[in-house]
Amino acid sequence: MPYLMGLDISTTSAKALLIDAETGQVIASHSTPQPISQPKPLWSEQNPADWWQGMAASIRAVTQAHPDKPIQAVGLSGQMHGLVLLDAAGYVLRPSILWNDGRTQAQCDAMTEQIGFERLIQLTGNRALTGFTAPKILWVREHEPDVYARVAHILLPKDYIRFMLSGDYAAEMSDAAGMSLLDVAQRRWSGEVLAALDIPESWLPTLYEGTQVTGTVNQAAAEATGLAAGTPIVGGGGDQAAGAVGVGAVEEGILSLAVGTSGVVFAPLERYAYEPQGRLHAFCHAAPNLWHFMGVMLSAAGSLQWYRDTLAADTPFDALVDEAAQAPIGSEGLYFLPYLTGERTPHPDPLARGGFIGLTSRHTRAHLTRAILEGVAFGLRDGFELIRASAPNIREVRVSGGGAKSALWRQILADVLDAPLVSVNTTEGAAYGAALLAGVGAGLYSDVQTACHTTITTSDATLPQRSADYAPHYATYRQLYPALKSLVMT
């Protein structure tokens, strides 16, 4: 069997992954770090030229190390929502405005007023949020009219890599669904939304499913990367949808729980549905004929990273977590709100703030650490409860991400969610899912479900043991955000 390649342009790195199509074994992986710019408060930007340089370097590293078999197809994944503006000649007009940029609240409010809160959610599956693409387009129109006047094409981050590989202006459904411009139920651009926002549909890329071939590697890209000219490029998926493919969450009832820098609860759906208040994201899946609900907390393992870097920089993570195991459930009345960078689910509030609540002189570092582990678990339960109410037939929860490597944290999550958690044999995330989607597009697997059944296995079930003990602490946690929201933090 030939090799398959998955590419993932995340906020922090440009990653190229090579897998064996028959076994799913990872053959090689290479990541090139990516710089990020925050030129003003709430702003977050990257230069698409850096993405391409980094991705070309990662692809070269992989292709040069393993020239023994042909690469049958390439799949793409990447950070969602980022705005890439190009002129008619394909040149980038300004740095990309990223998913974690918070400058566009005024534009979100204007979108909601123009389209209507309920109608916007019906069409796009979501509220207008500062992270999404459409309000960024409106911001550029209002604040950078000279740039806006030259726009001819709008792309997402991974689709800029696709453009550099093939010259094609293309996107796929899962990533496009995060732009607030897609009719998510019908899997097409929403003429109603585009008309209301006065955005030309001609600027938007051609839409494909995640398993469809969107083009082939051109000669210039072949010389830059070492890929063979003519190699098929497949739609792929936004990072969360591709990551769900990478753990086999491609059937209704199989959930993905990703505990990375952010935390994501992901539930595949056989039919389009939306949460009426927009507290859950509703997007197209990267697998054809599927949609998904998604609950997102912005600082999951990122909360532990911040805590360690700020207060215990010389202490290994494992040592901190070992200490936390000595503190009792509930951390003796100490709670942690994990809203270090605002929040998405269930509180779509970019100004939400984190904190330790209930500190006393009895509390030690062990209590502080355990409060963080429990607070993140409580935050993930907020999204899990919304999904359980809307998609109740949960058969299995597959856990992944750096936070899931801790046995203590896995146990806390299982107890707080009151659900068994299973691990998977794949740890490469979105790039792995992108490679599987490439395999379907190349005809090596009949469909996405078959690709996952062929390559992904589960193990190491963590069963809930003390869910009842956590119930009163979760009830207290749920009262904290409403109680503190009225405070103005400046």
Could you list the active site residues?
239
Using CA atoms in the order 176, 179, 180, 185, what is the torsion angle rounded to 10 degrees?
10
CA-based R_g, the chain, Å: 22
Alpha-carbon gap, residue 428 to 433, rounded angstroms: 8
Residues with Cβ within 8 Å of 26's Cβ and at least 6 positions away in sequence, in order, are 17, 18, 19, 428, 432
Distances (CA, A) of 84 to 52, 59, 305, 453: 13, 22, 29, 35
The secondary structure of 1-20 as a DSSP string is --EEEEEEE-SSEEEEEEEE
Of 238, 243, 280, 225, nearest to 59 by C-alpha is: 225
> Helical H runs in 178-330?
191-197, 219-225, 239-247, 301-311, 317-324
Of 335, 244, 245, 336, nearest to 295 by C-alpha is: 244
Q: Specify which residues 349 forms β-bridges with.
A: 343
Phi, psi of 32 (to 5 degrees): -115, 120
Alpha-carbon gap, residue 25 to 3, rounded angstroms: 10
Distances (CA, A) of 6 to 53, 229, 445: 17, 17, 15
Burial 178-195 (b: 16+ CB within 10 A, else e): bbbbbbbbebebbeebbe
Alpha-carbon gap, residue 415 to 264, rounded angstroms: 17
Q: Which residue has the tokens 């689709």?
A: 159
Q: Which helix (H) or strand (E) holds 399?
A: strand 396-400
Helix then strand count (H, E) for the chain reads: 17, 23
Instruction: Give the helix, strand, coil percentages of the chain, each rounded to 5.
Output: 40, 25, 35
Alpha-carbon gap, residue 403 to 411, rounded angstroms: 11
